[in-house]
Structures are given as C-alpha cells and as structure tokens.
C-alpha cells in the first residue's frame, strides 16, 4: 500500500508546487517534502497545501526541507529545480544552467535518499535525465524523465479539438525526445479504438502533429514569464502514482537506452512499464521506416546536447 510513502519535490515553483498539490489532493502518499532555495516561499506553499489536504480529508502532510540533507529516505523524488524558458528560447538554451543545478540536486538525492526513484522534469528533459543517471549512479530503472505523458496528452487534446468529439476516449502516442523533433505517432493513436486515419484527413493529422511538437512553445508564447505547469504537473503525478501504487501500467517516459530501438548511451522517450521498482520494462514498438527516421533524428538531437556537456567536461567536474 502507499501508506507511509514519502515523496520529495526539489523545485517548488510552478511545476513542483502543482505536482505536490495534485498528490496531496489525491492522498497519494503520506508525506510530501518540498525543497527549494526560496525557503520562505516553500514554507508558505507547504502550509497552504496541508490546509487544502485537510479540507478534502486527505491524510497527506506537506512539509519543507531547508537543505538537501533534510530530504531523507524518500521513496520518490521529483526534480523540477531550474529555469523555465521564456518566449524566443528553445528548451536546449537551458542546457548548461539546468545541468549544473541538476548535478548538485541529484548528488544530494543519491546521498540522502539513496533508495529513491528519481523523476526528472527540468529541461532540456532528456539531457537532464541523462545527467541525473550519471550523477546519481543509480540503476537506469530508477531514473525516469517526464515528457511523453504530457506530449501525448497535448496530442489527445488537439485531436479532440479538431474532431469536436471523443473526449476521454482518445489514446494518442508520442515517442522520442522532448524537443521540437519529438515523434508523434498517429498510426498508434485511436479514438475509442478507431484508428485516427479513419477519422481525419492526412492534412488534419499533419496539423495536429506539428502543433503537438510545438505545444510547449505555444503556451510559453501566452504566459510570457515561464512555461506550462498544469498538464506537466498532472503528467508527473501520474508517474509518481504509478510507482507508489505499483500499477505496472505502460506510459511513455524518458529512459536511458541500452540497445533498445538500436540506441545506446542516450536518453529518449519510449513506452515503459512503471511499477514499484521504477522503469520495470521498456517496450519496443514496431516502427515503420519514416517513424524510425524521425526517432533517429530525435535521438541525435539529444546526443548533441550530451556531446556539448562532454565537450565542456561537465561530467569530469566536481
């Protein structure tokens, strides 16, 4: 059972605080511990959320760790620490600044919550998941990145908008890295089991694919001061719950590949069976030539970021 489980959230900004709120409202775990450099703000949010939990009769308590040393014995730690992008920026522009923060935070997690499963959220997501894996020294099954659930949900919402029906019955599928060359898979997307190609024209589907690829930037363009957080937070909470409840359900997640899909030593989004041990199984879906090409392009973009980190001797620095 999930009674007694502790979830740490590093970075209690827009995404982190909304993940915490979502979990507290569901009573997904016994304790949520927020860790942020802005300690006073985190304390205010923790109090506010604990009171919201009391309002819905949830047993979840939300508290604050004033340093990484206090973030002990967590079962799951979500990392959202770092900067979001602003209009005109790509997620990749956050590489060096967020990699430094991720390194510091993940070393703390490995030291003080050595049995935790890490869910990375900070961008650029796939590269940050790679950094988290290397800096934690954890088995790859215990380091996952959140993006695929978000990207698939966006695609589903765009399909519903285009069709004007089917809400709640849409299963959209997106693989690859969380960048502009992510790989939406209309061939694996259905509405109540009906293939998307039976419901929409190729042009309409192309429009949905393109909008999905730029779904994050669309919201940044409206918000101006940061990026999306409701759908990202809910998508993250789904991963946390899958671990705590040992659901063994399949979700698209970013994981370190060791030969799957023909790739090694790179992180990308693929279908993963999630359970109490984290990424318990990577599922290999059959891709056609065009889909394979798109997946290759996406993996190569993530590889470029990893190469940049290596060129900057990032993994050699203390």
Ligand X SMILES: O=C(O)C[C@H](O)C(=O)O
Ligand Y SMILES: NC(=O)c1ccc[n+]([C@@H]2O[C@H](COP(=O)([O-])OP(=O)(O)OC[C@H]3O[C@@H](n4cnc5c(N)ncnc54)[C@H](O)[C@@H]3O)[C@@H](O)[C@H]2O)c1
Binding-site annotation: residue ranges for NAD(+): 11-16, 36, 98, 121-123
Task: Considering the candidates 30, 178, 214, 251, report the single residue annotated as catalytic.
Answer: 178
From ligand X, ligand Y, none, interface partner of 220 (C-beta below 5 to 8 A by class): ligand X
Whether cis (ω within 30° of 0) applies to the bond prior to 150 is no
84 lies in the binding site for ligand Y (CB under 6 A) = yes
Instruction: Please report whether residue 13 would count as binding ligand Y according to CB under 6 A.
Output: yes
Does residue 91 interact with ligand X by CB under 6 A?
Answer: yes
Q: Quick count: other Cβ atoms within 10 Å of Cβ 249?
A: 13
Q: Which of 15, 46, 183, 287 binds ligand Y (CB under 6 A)?
A: 15
Of the candidates 168, 180, 188, 162, which has an alpha carbon nearest to the alpha carbon of residue 252? Answer: 188
Contact 68, 35 (CB under 8 A): yes
Nearer to ligand Y, 74 or 150 (CB): 150
CA distance 160 to 158: 5
Strands (E), the chain: 6-10, 31-35, 61-65, 76-79, 117-120, 143-145, 170-171, 174-175, 183-184, 190-191, 194-195, 249-258, 264-275, 278-282
- Quick check: 275 binds ligand Y (CB under 6 A)? no
Residue 12 interaction partner, one of ligand Y, ligand X, none, beta carbon < 5-8 Å per kind: ligand Y
Residue positions in the annotated binding site?
11-16, 36, 85, 91, 98, 121-123, 154
| Matching residue, tokens 């900067």 | 83
228 is a site residue for ligand X (CB under 6 A): yes
Residue 213 in the binding site for ligand X (CB under 6 A): no
Applying CB under 6 A, does 11 fall inside the site for ligand Y?
A: yes
CB of 220 to ligand X, least distance (A): 5
178 is catalytic: yes
Binders of ligand X in range 275-314 (CB under 6 A): none
Decide whether 182 or 196 has the Cβ nearer to ligand X. Answer: 182
Q: Per-residue contact track with ligand Y, 208 to 227, x per CB under 6 A?
A: ------------------xx
Q: Is 81 in the site for ligand Y (CB under 6 A)?
A: yes
Residue positions forming the annotated binding site for substrate: 85, 91, 123, 154
Query: Of 24, 17, 37, nearest to 108 (Cα)?
Result: 37
Cα separation of 42 and 64, whole Å?
A: 7
Residues 6+ apart with CB under 8 A from 198: none
Instruction: Determine if 14 is a binding residue for ligand Y (CB under 6 A).
Output: yes
End-to-end CA, the chain: 39
Residue 136 contacts which entry, ligand X, ligand Y, none (Cβ below 5-8 A, type-dependent)? none
Maximum C-alpha span of the chain: 55
Contact positions with ligand X (CB under 6 A) in 168-187: 178
Distance CA 187, CA 195 (A): 7
In whole angstroms, the minimum distance from the beta carbon of 110 to ligand Y comes to 15
- 214 three-class SS: coil
Which residues of the chain form contacts with ligand Y (CB under 6 A)?
10-16, 35-38, 80-85, 94, 98, 101, 104-105, 121-123, 125, 146-147, 150, 178, 226-229, 232
Active site (catalytic) residues: 178
């Amino acid at each position: 059972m999930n009674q007694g489980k502790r979830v740490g959230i590093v970075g209690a900004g827009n995404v982190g605080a909304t993940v915490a709120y979502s979990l507290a409202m569901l009573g997904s775990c016994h304790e949520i511990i927020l860790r942020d450099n802005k300690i006073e703000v985190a304390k205010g949010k923790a109090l506010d959320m604990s009171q919201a939990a009391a309002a819905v009769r949830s047993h979840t308590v939300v508290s604050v760790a004033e340093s990484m040393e206090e973030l002990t014995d967590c079962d799951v730690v979500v990392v959202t620490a770092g900067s979001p992008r602003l209009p005109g920026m790509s997620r990749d522009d956050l590489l060096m600044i967020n990699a430094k923060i991720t390194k510091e935070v993940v070393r703390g997690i490995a030291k003080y919550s050595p049995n935790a499963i890490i869910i990375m959220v900070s961008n650029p997501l796939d590269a940050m998941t790679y950094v988290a894996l290397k800096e934690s020294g954890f088995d790859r099954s215990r380091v996952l990145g959140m993006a695929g659930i978000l990207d698939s949900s966006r695609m589903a919402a765009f399909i519903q908008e285009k069709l004007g029906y089917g809400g709640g019955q849409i299963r959209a599928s997106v693989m690859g890295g969380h960048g502009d060359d992510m790989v939406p898979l209309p061939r694996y997307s259905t509405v109540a089991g009906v293939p998307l190609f039976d419901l929409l024209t190729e042009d309409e589907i192309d429009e949905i694919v393109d909008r999905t690829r730029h779904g994050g930037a669309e919201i940044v363009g409206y918000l101006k001061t940061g990026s999306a957080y409701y759908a990202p937070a809910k998508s993250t909470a789904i991963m946390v719950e899958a671990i705590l409840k040992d659901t063994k359900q399949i979700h698209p997640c970013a994981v370190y590949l060791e030969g799957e899909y023909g790739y090694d030593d790179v992180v990308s989004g693929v279908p993963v069976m999630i359970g109490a041990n984290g990424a318990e199984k990577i599922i290999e879906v059959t891709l056609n030539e065009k889909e394979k090409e798109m997946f290759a392009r996406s993996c190569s973009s993530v590889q470029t970021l990893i190469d940049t980190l290596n060129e900057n001797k990032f993994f050699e620095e203390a």
